[in-house]
Chains A and B, each alone.
Chain A
Amino acid sequence: MELKAILSDFCDRSNDNIKAKRLVSGWDRLIEIQVDDTGNSFFLETCNGVANIMTDPKSGHVNIIVEGSQNVIAGVFSGSKNPSSEVLDGNLALFGSDMDQIKLDALSLILWGV
């Protein structure tokens, strides 16, 4: 599955999940997902409780940077990899405030239980 499709699926699931919608409500953030091995970047935006993926940000300051290989990013956003374990192994890096990092991880936990 293409990475962009995985990220879009992640957003769709988040928007369809009541707990996830509640979590991102009032949490307007721009998240940059940097894929190390391809050099691509994707941008995930949460605004008014809705998550969207876009290839180019319209504007705004990036609040969180998620950095990893395509395999790891795909795994984390599809629920096949535990983000905490990947961070521990040095395969995934998150840059941002600690609360934002926890919220992003919590989103993954709500959607995937992993």
Chain B
Amino acid sequence: MLISLLFRLGDVGTVVLAVTSAAILCGLVALAAGEMAKTYPSGAGIRTFSRQAFGETVSLFVTFTYLSVLFLVAGLESYLLSALLQITFPGVPAFLWLVVLFVGVMALNIRGVKLSAPVQIIATLILVIGMLFFGALGWWQPQRLNFVDAFYSSSVVSLPLLASIGTAVFLFVGFEWIAPLGINRAAYQRKIPYAMCASIVVNCLAYLVFILGFAVLVPRGDVADGSLAHLLYFVEMVGPNGALIALGFSVIAIFTTFNAGIMGGAQILYVLAREHRLPKVLTGINGRWGTPANAILALGFVAGLCAVIAIVFDTAALFMLTSSILFCLAYICITVSAIRLRAMRKIPAGDAFKLPTSVLYGAALAMTAIAAASLWELLSNDPKRGGLILCIFFLAAILTAIFGDGPHPFRVKAAAPDLRGEQA
């Protein structure tokens, strides 16, 4: 769907430039995040960084906003998969696929079933190599379009490049989730920063090859008008059976990124509840498997609701554009947090990956510009589309007011510890 949105915004030259620019910007943000993760290795990423830099209130607002976006993204991913499944198996309605998907993923997460590291690596390799292979294969198809025509086709009016970059940022979302995964402190010297940047580089290369394949195989107007662009591509390449290839890609992606998103989001809910920043019920653990069951159920319920809204009101594109803008804002927060923590001397000096502060300022300004352009693009066709962002901000503000510092009726008092023998 994101590729469809990108091709709506510009021709393939614009899309290539947007994806590359987004990758470079995200790489700079990744280095900023890696620098902070050295000092706060097992903290909850943006929650910890923003709290250390700007205090509790700002951090809570940013975290609640970020959490809202995770709900949207989970709902969006599940909606897209259920739509693809409905196309592939027309006899089964999308709602039923949605129910099966959410029940299945939540059950696996509550049970504590996780893909082992080798399986995750293999799944990722299949996705990346698959995108590279099939993207390149598009150039050898007898029915491919004229390259020059593809590059300069203008069946859809091009829109500002900045808005395209803002949308393309969504392609790289999730690199920041690598930050708390170090197995020891030494991993944060090189491995974690390398891993974040490498993930962005690999993704960028795979997307560019795939997009260039689109450009020569599927007319731009068809890509721009659709919502399941990869389905169009594979059907064009191999015929009706291409739907199964598209489905295979989506299923692998779901069981890696979607599952990781559900678990990651549930962990954020759990940690916030442990800090007494959300209702204590969200700390509920399954006694047998030790998983944050209540947080998983809560996340699944809200994400499922988002998916239903996407189906009923056809708001998938709105969700995606809104998520892109809010992720840009989150990355601005990460970059500015690094700048502030340096000024506060909370981050030690002397680091192989330390960017000049001027570069961080530049990255923050660039992200601000593309977020603003993306927002302009969102509002330009219909100002009411900005309502979702306003709702998210309003919700985050309400939650911050309720669960932030200061007396309020919902704050849970910590139980007095039994320090037996302490006085001896």
Which residues does A use to contact B, with CB under 8 Å? 1, 5, 9, 19, 22-23, 25, 27, 65, 67, 78-80, 82-85, 87-90, 92-96, 98-99, 101-103, 105-106, 109-110, 112-114
Contact = CB atoms under 8 A, between A and B. Distances in A.
Contact of A19 (B43, B274, B287): B287
A95 B184 contact: yes
A102 B290 contact: yes
A93 B290 contact: no
Contacts of A9: 420-421
Interface in B391-423: 414-415, 417-422
Contact of A90 (B52, B287, B418): B52
B283 A114 contact: no
Nearest to B114: A99
A114 B414 CA distance: 6
Contacts of B184: 65, 95
Given A79-B418, A110-B285, A114-B414, 8 more contacts: A1-B421, A1-B422, A67-B185, A79-B419, A88-B43, A95-B187, A102-B267, A102-B270
Q: Which 7 A-B pairs have the closest CB atoms?
A: A79-B417, A113-B415, A84-B274, A103-B290, A106-B285, A94-B42, A90-B40
A88 B290 contact: no
Interface of B: 39-44, 47-48, 51-52, 112, 114, 180-185, 187, 263, 267, 270-271, 274-275, 283, 285, 287-288, 290-292, 414-415, 417-422, 424
26 contacts: A1-B419, A5-B421, A23-B288, A27-B290, A80-B419, A82-B274, A82-B275, A83-B274, A85-B275, A90-B39, A90-B43, A90-B48, A93-B42, A95-B42, A95-B182, A95-B183, A95-B185, A95-B187, A98-B263, A99-B114, A99-B290, A102-B267, A102-B292, A112-B417, A114-B414, A114-B415
The majority secondary structure among interface residues of chain B is: loop
Contacts of B291: 99, 102
Given A67-B185, A82-B414, A113-B414, A87 B42 contact: yes
A71 B417 CA distance: 16
Contact of B41 (A23, A27, A84, A93): A93
Nearest to B272: A84
B267 A78 contact: no
Contacts of B420: 9
B16 to A, nearest CB: 36
Contacts of B52: 89-90
A80 B417 CA distance: 6
A22 to B, nearest CB: 5
A87 B415 CA distance: 19
A94 B185 CA distance: 9
Contact of A88 (B181, B187, B263, B275): B275
Among A85, A90, A105, residue most surrounded by chain B Cβ atoms (within 10 Å) = A90
Given A84-B275, A90-B39, A102-B292, A78 B44 contact: no
A59 B187 CA distance: 23
B221 to A, nearest CB: 44
A103 B325 CA distance: 35
Contact of A78 (B48, B271, B417): B417
Contacts of A65: 183-184
Given A78-B419, A88-B51, A22 B287 contact: yes
A65 to B, nearest CB: 6
